[in-house]
């Protein structure tokens, strides 16, 4: 199918919770490409398998995107569309590479387009319970010559504070002012526990995502929604203890805590990718991402060798200008095919 597989997948708008048409398309494409089995599982994930051995290489991508349809078009050597980078490009690369060779005896290749990665990761959580692979490859953009070994963790926090209404000339702190003071203190605390000399992967970084305030004439209310990107080793208890002294009379409401994950470098999987990138004329580079992916959820459970790989520049994730270089996509398919062939021949 070549780039047409990805082009067709991009044409189907599939934000989280609206993935069924894209799943149907991908299942049909896998059947056309010669997968032994292709279907939608009970969670709605698109699943295709080649081979029938006890050793499973699981290629886990995601088929959902963030909201905002981008008309699919080619301009020169570029392909535009929502999900071209994050992460239908890597997923289509998985499907093509899985179809490019027949797994040898003892091995099977499973490609999964998971639903819900941009929301609650329900697709990956289902996969986590029903598969036990020996090798894991996550579909996320890394550029063709980069191998991603880790992702930072994530934590959401809602801060809420309420004050009695006072006159603006009273000099007393309002609820919005209390919220601003909390945010400034939070940023200073995060800086104090992070080593600025270290790469971003190892620093605790907060991001203010929304702020609101209102009043009923008797009480002022203010709220902040904050996301933390977590380095390895940071616990929820540490963050709660650090912020408890800053909250004043406000309330801290923590969401789901997802720890950071960093894979081992000295594995047959990594060596297969290194060799494949060099064979394609590249100088392989290791990457640690400041975002979070399904790798954070499934890799610690399975405890198997893991990497993330896929074409695309991650700085284009979620942007109105999301696009992929067609030649990079094709080279990534070649590299992944060679890596799988090398890995399963060991």
Please answer whether residues 2 and 93 qualify as being in contact, where contact means their C-beta atoms are separated by less than 8 angstroms: no
Q: Which of 19, 56, 117, 322 is catalytic?
A: 117
- Catalytic, out of 56, 64, 118, 220: 64
> Could you confirm whether 196 is annotated as catalytic?
no
Alpha helices per DSSP H over 280-345: 295-302, 326-344
Distance CA 339, CA 297 (A): 24
> What 3-state class would DSSP assign to 15?
strand
Which helix (H) or strand (E) segment holds residue 183: the answer is: helix 175-192
CA dist., res. 228 & res. 293, Å (int): 14
Nearest by Cα to 239 from 190, 198, 274, 174: 190
Return d(Cα 123, Cα 44) in angstroms, integer.
7
Long-range contacts of 24-28 (CB under 8 A, 24+ apart): 26/63, 26/91, 26/95, 26/113
Is there a catalytic annotation at residue 322? no
Cβ contacts of 81 within 8 Å, gap of 6 or more = 7, 10, 11, 70, 71, 72, 73, 88, 322, 323
Q: What positions carry a catalytic annotation?
A: 64, 117
């Amino acid at each position: 199918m070549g780039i047409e597989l990805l082009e067709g997948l991009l044409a189907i708008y599939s934000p989280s919770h609206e993935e069924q048409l894209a799943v149907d398309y991908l299942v049909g494409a896998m059947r056309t490409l010669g997968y032994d089995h292709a279907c939608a599982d009970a969670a709605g994930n698109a699943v295709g398998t080649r081979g029938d051995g006890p050793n499973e290489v699981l290629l886990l991508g995601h088929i959902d995107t963030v909201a905002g349809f981008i008309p699919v078009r080619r301009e020169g050597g570029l392909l535009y569309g929502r999900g071209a980078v994050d992460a239908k490009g890597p997923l289509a690369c998985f499907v093509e590479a899985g179809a490019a060779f027949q797994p040898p005896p003892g091995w099977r290749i499973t490609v999964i387009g998971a639903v819900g990665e941009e929301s609650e990761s329900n697709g990956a959580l289902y996969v986590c319970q029903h598969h036990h692979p020996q090798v894991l490859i996550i579909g996320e953009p890394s550029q063709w010559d980069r191998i991603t070994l880790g992702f930072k963790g994530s934590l959401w926090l809602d801060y809420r504070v309420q004050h009695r209404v006072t006159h603006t000339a009273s000099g007393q702190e309002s609820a919005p002012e209390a919220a601003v003071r909390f945010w400034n203190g939070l940023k200073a605390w995060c800086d104090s526990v992070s080593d600025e000399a270290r790469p971003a992967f190892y620093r605790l970084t907060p991001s203010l995502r929304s702020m609101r305030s209102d009043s009923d004439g008797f009480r002022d209310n203010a709220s902040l929604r904050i996301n933390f990107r977590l380095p390895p080793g940071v616990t929820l208890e540490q963050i709660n203890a650090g912020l408890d002294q800053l909250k004043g009379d406000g309330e801290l409401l923590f969401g789901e805590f997802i720890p950071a994950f960093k894979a081992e470098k000295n594995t047959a999987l990594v060596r297969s990718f290194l060799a494949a990138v060099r064979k394609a004329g590249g100088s392989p580079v290791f990457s640690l991402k400041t975002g979070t992916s399904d790798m954070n959820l499934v890799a610690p459970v399975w405890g198997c060798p893991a990497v993330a790989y896929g074409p695309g520049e991650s700085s284009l994730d979620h942007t109105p200008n999301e696009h992929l270089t067609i030649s990079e996509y094709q080279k990534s398919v070649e590299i992944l095919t060679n890596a799988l062939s090398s890995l399963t021949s060991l």
